[in-house]
């Protein structure tokens, strides 16, 4: 199947699952990734058939980047409620509730103008109001444009919540290429973690029977090599729209992969747990790095951990989980600690479960090891891709103390019920 057709086929419902042959579809009714979308704004929205009264939501910066243009174009045909949030909003329960409550009566759909945070706020606000959402992207900073989930902070705890895929995703490559370089770095970081996320997810499947699908990765097989092979072009002075197209397509297809998998499993594993830990536990006085920048650095760490275990001739044997609720609360504090314990307790191993896993590892380690080696990427490879674009490759590049990052690696497995190489490292018999 031609790479250029994958997105169109998913939208049309004609993409065939490489494993089962069944036809796959997504909720999105329209996706446009073009060098320029100037003059097409009305046409793109009208084709979705979602009504004529829209709330156009962005923040101060995204309105300057694109929102004013979109509003001016759409107001020629539709009724538009302009919603301009303060700079650097957070996707938390309070913000979502306020945005949802502020929507005019009779709004037919929410239009996000922005990237990660704005898109997630709009996903959740639209869901709260029971109406569709669509998005005009302003930066190639994350792979959530077409995903079925949103990353939401609830009383300091970062959660991935079920939402709905936007019905329309429109990416103007000229706008994306003009985004700040750090946002481009973030999108690259959210893409370069594919091998670590896939390897974690596959390991969980092979070791504890977590459901696993290959379609999210087959979708990326054509665009990802172009992106990884010429990452420097993303930030070149010429602003290569060919490279930007590869990044935008990779991000969109990664989001579709998550939607088809019913969650963020194909793109969010140990490296995302490390990043979520940093976002939850970072001291307030430290400047905050972009999520994708953290992901890129965390992916290097995860690749290092994965290779250290995969390279072993003997399997990593496990013991029962020794952490207690008191241990977790002692590290995270009462509020976050209780939420973390609820997650950790779902995957905690008792002696019987550890013995069963160890029996499987002993019996099947050569096969398991070979399958994991086929999906893993070396830390050197991930570092080289990020470095080519000038993206962060170390905690120091993020301006984070080594101790904070070390704590993230040591404790990130405690914040989600996902079974990753962080768990093998934590509960392994050394």
Encode pLDDT of 37-61 as tens digits: 999 999 999 999 999 999 999 999 9
Q: How far is CA 74 from CA 52, 77, 79, 107, 377, in A?
A: 10, 6, 8, 14, 45
Q: Which two tokens stand for residue 63?
A: 């309105």
Distance CA 398, CA 84 (A): 29
Encode pLDDT of 352-381 as tens digits: 999 999 999 999 999 999 999 999 999 999
Residue 113's H or E segment, with its range, is strand 109-114
DSSP state of 397: G
pTM, to two decimals? 0.93
H helix and E strand count, the chain: 20, 10
Phi, psi dihedrals of residue 122, rounded to the nearest 5°: -70, -35
Crossing angle for the helix pair 241-261 and 181-192, nearest 10 degrees?
Answer: 50
Identify the pLDDT of residue 4.
Answer: 45
Low-confidence ranges of the chain (pLDDT < 70): 1-4, 427-430
Distance CA 137, CA 236 (A): 21
Identify the pLDDT of residue 380.
Answer: 98
Q: How far is CA 58 from CA 65, 87, 122, 135, 327, in A?
A: 10, 9, 9, 10, 41
Identify the pLDDT of residue 430.
Answer: 44
Identify the pLDDT of residue 149.
Answer: 81
Identify the pLDDT of residue 3.
Answer: 42
Identify the pLDDT of residue 429.
Answer: 55
Distance CA 135, CA 145 (A): 8
Distance CA 160, CA 72 (A): 34
3-state secondary structure of 239: coil
Identify the pLDDT of residue 157.
Answer: 79
Encode pLDDT of 224-257 as tens digits: 999 999 999 999 987 779 999 999 999 999 999 9
């Amino acid at each position: 199947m031609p790479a250029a057709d994958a997105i169109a086929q998913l939208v049309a419902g004609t993409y065939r699952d490489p494993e089962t042959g069944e036809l796959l579809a997504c909720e999105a009714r329209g996706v446009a990734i073009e060098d320029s979308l100037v003059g097409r704004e009305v046409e793109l929205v009208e084709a979705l058939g979602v009504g004529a009264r829209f709330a156009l939501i962005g923040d101060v910066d995204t309105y300057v980047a694109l929102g004013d243009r979109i509003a001016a174009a759409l107001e020629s045909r539709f009724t538009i409620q302009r919603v301009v949030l303060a700079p650097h909003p957070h996707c938390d329960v309070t913000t979502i509730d306020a945005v949802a409550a502020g929507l005019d009566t009779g709004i037919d759909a929410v239009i996000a103008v922005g990237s990660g945070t704005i898109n997630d706020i709009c996903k959740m606000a639209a869901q709260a109001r029971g109406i569709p959402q669509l998005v005009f992207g302003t930066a190639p900073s994350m792979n959530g444009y077409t995903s079925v989930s949103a990353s939401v902070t609830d009383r300091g705890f970062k959660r991935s919540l079920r939402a709905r895929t936007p019905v329309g995703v429109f990416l103007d490559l000229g706008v994306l290429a003009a985004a700040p370089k750090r946002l481009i770095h973030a999108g690259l970081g959210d893409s370069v973690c594919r091998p670590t996320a896939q390897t974690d997810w596959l390991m969980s499947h092979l070791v504890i029977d977590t459901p696993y699908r290959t379609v999210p990765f087959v979708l990326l097989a054509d665009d990802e090599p172009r992106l990884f092979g010429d990452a420097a072009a993303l930030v070149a002075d010429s602003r290569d729209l060919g490279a930007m197209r590869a990044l935008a397509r990779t991000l969109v297809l990664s989001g579709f992969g998550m939607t088809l998998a019913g969650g963020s499993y194909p793109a969010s594993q140990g490296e995302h747990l490390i990043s979520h830990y940093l976002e939850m536990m970072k001291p307030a006085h430290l400047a905050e790095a972009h999520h994708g920048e953290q992901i890129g650095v965390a992916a290097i760490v995860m690749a290092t951990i994965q290779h250290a275990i995969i390279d072993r001739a003997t399997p990593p044997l496990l013991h029962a989980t020794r952490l207690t609720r008191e241990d977790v609360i002692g590290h995270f504090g009462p509020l976050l600690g209780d939420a973390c314990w609820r997650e950790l307790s779902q995957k905690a191993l008792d002696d019987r479960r550890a013995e069963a896993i160890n029996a499987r590892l002993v019996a099947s380690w050569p096969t398991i090891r070979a399958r994991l080696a086929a999906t893993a990427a070396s830390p050197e490879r991930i570092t080289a891709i990020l470095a080519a674009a000038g993206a962060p490759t170390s905690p120091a590049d993020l301006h984070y103390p080594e101790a904070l990052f070390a704590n993230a690696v040591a404790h990130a497995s405690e914040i989600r019920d996902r079974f990753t190489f962080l768990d093998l490292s934590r509960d392994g018999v050394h």
